[in-house]
Structure 1
Amino acid sequence: MGKQYNTCKNCEENFEEGFLFCPHCGQKTKEELTFGVLFYNTINNYFSVDARFFKSFFPLLFKPGYLARRFIEGKRLLYLHPAKLFLFVSIVFFFLLTTTVVRNQVQEIDTVLKKTLEKPLISDGLKTKTQQVLDSVKIDSVLLPLKEKNISEIDRKRAKTLDSLLSGNASNETLYKAMGMDEDAGYFKRKFYEQSLKFYKQRNGGEIYEAIIDTIPLSLFILLPIFALILKLLFYKGGAYTHHLVFSLYYFSFLFTIFSFILIVNYFWDTSWIGFLLLLSTYFYLVIAIKRFYKKGWFSTFYKSALATFVYLMIVIPIAIVIISLVGFFFY
């Protein structure tokens, strides 16, 4: 009986049956694409970058959808693992963002606040409720002068009261009460007043901004899979969810590479039009990548690319910004 041979999906060399790993390139001979397989290499060797990075960089930029398609086809050792590539590129981007933009903006925000912020608004709810009451009652000759006063004066009086309590080393509970917090306030409402008081004392808007920026990398572990889910819903016949996740990892790697280029260009030259063109290129890159990866017609590709972009930018990202801002404020 003749020997049975298998063909490696990665290097396409033949080898005898029974090998767990390809004797030519070392890739597993039988490996289903699951979550565990997808992230194993990243966890096993978190920050290592070898020659495969440079081999992956050119097709990442100039051959949309190529790396994702090759990875799905089984070529998993020829190029850098998609999760590892994404982590490396995103780390470079956030390093550039912190050193070229965030650090200066934090200082500017704190400087502006300390110079221009006379008294922060203690309670937006107070202003709204007070105005509603004044609007609802019958204004006579006695109440009219009160209504005509700017409600910000009331805020200033409350701020003055709060300053007096602060100078007298009043307890936080007394300060919260002066700010308008109910005694039976729940955890989140109490936390809001705690952070508001902290901001009132320190005027550290830059620290809040920095906390928001620090939250963004963690949020990507949710935002990226959501993008993959959108693709799964649009291309439900396009394979398992992990296939869409691989595509998303490579696409987001491209996005952060472009964002890094924009930061570098803006650091040396004040040319906003270059940044605009680079941003515009990300959409056309997505269209071409989807066309090549999912092998659909041009009409379907344009339609679904536009729909995925709209849903992600108009629905997912705004919600994410609100949540990230709240998390940054609550935990700065």
Structure 2
Amino acid sequence: MTGDIESIAGGLADIGTGAAVAGAIERGRGGGDGHTHEGACLNCGTNLVGPHCHGCGQRAHVHRTLGAFFHDLVHGVLHFEGKTWRTVPMLAWKPGQLTRQYIDGKRASYVSPIALFLFVVFLSFAVFSMLGGLDAEQPGLTGLEQAKIAYTKNEKSIAELEAKRAKADAADRIDIDERLKSLKDDQQAMKGVVGSVQSDFVEGFTENPLPEDSKLAQTIQHVRENPQLAIYKAQTSAYKYSWMLIPLSVPFVWLLFPFNRRFKGYDHTVFVTYSISFMIALVAVASLLFYVNAGAAAGLLLLYAPYHMYRQPLERDRIRLALLLVFACNAFARLILVVLSGQFSRYALLLAACAIPVVYGVTRCQLRHRPTLEPAT
């Protein structure tokens, strides 16, 4: 119970931090109306001709009260929230139009890409924290041994529930059946860990091992020895390395429009940042649905991105957007390698080097005409 409370408290703290950081990026500098009346800006000394300094943008009147401090905090968060209600619907259904309007200069109406990205990252990891993380590890036991212990406990719980079900009435059996289904699903998933089901992936590495001095081989060995620790490291590292999805994805988006003077690097970066923010938020919402046993709704939600891609009417744009989906998977796979190894893996760089000429050759044949449709999420 204490662990759940700590997870919820930590998650709420992350949400508050994300809102404060994003709100700080969005709101203007300086304080609200206060008790000072200045003829020159207190920040840069420019003569004031209105409620804001035309030199640095700071408000003309500042204040030094605690009430005003909290007013600024609430105003910043709510101001960010107000922009969010305009940004999220556009991002969900018309991401191309949102990107184009933001790039063309309509920026006061929408949350900036980096502010939205920071807020979504904080929000998503807060959700994952509140949903519950890994159980406390038992000292002196490897991840495989702990998995075996958990497997045995689940077997006992299943036997107890089945005995209880035989004596229960029809109303109680519904709840018992749900718990049994959940436990049996967990058992099926753990069979691959405790050795009841052999993985072709593991057998492949056993028959054709990687060089022992390679970073990838060492990483795989650590994961096999202690999978719980590897998952914990991946969870904490993903928080720090999530920003890497942006530079990993921008080159692939550029490959969809190579040497096109209409789209600049800034345009690609804005679109990628908005798209990644939306997908992270989508995964967070899907996680909540899985947590409340709404797996079907969560699965449909995760299919929204491919649906949005393939609802484009022209065949050449469907091909382009299908490639975009492949690029996204490639970038995510390379991020996983970086997260697990803790540093830039040479295998990740090799994947990128091999993918670029192949993708360029395919996309070059598809990009003879300027695209007329919006990009996909």
TM category, shorter: 0.5 to 0.7
Amino acid at match of 1:317: F
TM norm structure 1? 0.52
CA displacement at 1:298 relative to structure 2: 2.0
Matches within 5 A, 1:108-123: 111-112=146-147
TM-superposition CA deviations, 1:169-217 (whole Å, max 9, x none):
xxxxxxxxxxxxxxxx97969x959x96xx99xx854232111111223
1:241 matched to 2:265? The reply is yes
Amino acid at match of 2:308: Y
Rounded Cα–Cα distance in structure 2 between residues aligned with 1:27 and 1:280? 48
1:221 matched to 2:234? The reply is no
User: Does the CA-based 8 Å contact 1:215-1:327 persist in structure 2?
Assistant: yes
TM-superposition CA deviations, 1:131-159 (whole Å, max 9, x none):
x9xxxxxxxxxxxxxxxxxxxxxxxxxxx
Name the % identity.
19
Gaps of 5+ in 1: 1-22, 29-44, 119-123, 133-184, 292-296
Task: Identify which of 99, 121, 125 aligns with 1:94.
Answer: 125
User: Does the CA-based 8 Å contact 1:110-1:204 persist in structure 2?
Assistant: no
Describe the shift of the 1:263–1:27 C-alpha distance in structure 2 as closer, same or farther (beyond 3 A): farther
Rounded Cα–Cα distance in structure 2 between residues aligned with 1:59 and 1:26? 32
Equivalent residue, structure 1, for 2:297? 274
Equivalent residue, structure 2, for 1:300? 316
Equivalent residue, structure 2, for 1:160? none
Equivalent residue, structure 2, for 1:262? 286
1:103 matched to 2:134? The reply is yes
Rounded Cα–Cα distance in structure 2 between residues aligned with 1:240 and 1:90? 26
Rounded Cα–Cα distance in structure 2 between residues aligned with 1:243 and 1:104? 43
Describe the shift of the 1:276–1:188 C-alpha distance in structure 2 as closer, same or farther (beyond 3 A): closer
Q: CA RMSD in A?
A: 4.5
SS at match of 1:76: coil
Describe the shift of the 1:239–1:75 C-alpha distance in structure 2 as closer, same or farther (beyond 3 A): same
Equivalent residue, structure 2, for 1:144? none
User: Does the CA-based 8 Å contact 1:89-1:253 persist in structure 2?
Assistant: yes
Gaps of 5+ in 2: 1-49, 56-72, 152-192, 195-202, 346-377
Greater RCO (CA < 8 Å, at least 6 residues apart): 1
Describe the shift of the 1:110–1:241 C-alpha distance in structure 2 as closer, same or farther (beyond 3 A): farther
Rounded Cα–Cα distance in structure 2 between residues aligned with 1:221 and 1:274? 28
Rounded Cα–Cα distance in structure 1 between residues aligned with 2:129 and 2:281? 15
Rounded Cα–Cα distance in structure 2 between residues aligned with 1:253 and 1:187? 34
TM-superposition CA deviations, 1:251-303 (whole Å, max 9, x none):
112112211211111111x2322122111111233456xx6xxxxx7222211
SS at match of 1:251: helix
TM-superposition CA deviations, 1:95-119 (whole Å, max 9, x none):
112321533597998842556799x
Describe the shift of the 1:222–1:128 C-alpha distance in structure 2 as closer, same or farther (beyond 3 A): same
TM norm structure 2? 0.47
Amino acid at match of 2:325: T
CA displacement at 1:235 relative to structure 2: 1.4
SS at match of 1:265: helix
Count, aligned residues:
219
Matches within 5 A, 1:1-332: 49=77, 50=80, 51-103=82-134, 111-112=146-147, 192=218, 205-236=227-258, 237=260, 238-268=262-292, 270-286=293-309, 298-313=314-329, 315-327=330-342
Larger radius of gyration: 1
Rounded Cα–Cα distance in structure 1 between residues aligned with 2:256 and 2:317? 10
Rounded Cα–Cα distance in structure 2 between residues aligned with 1:58 and 1:26? 34
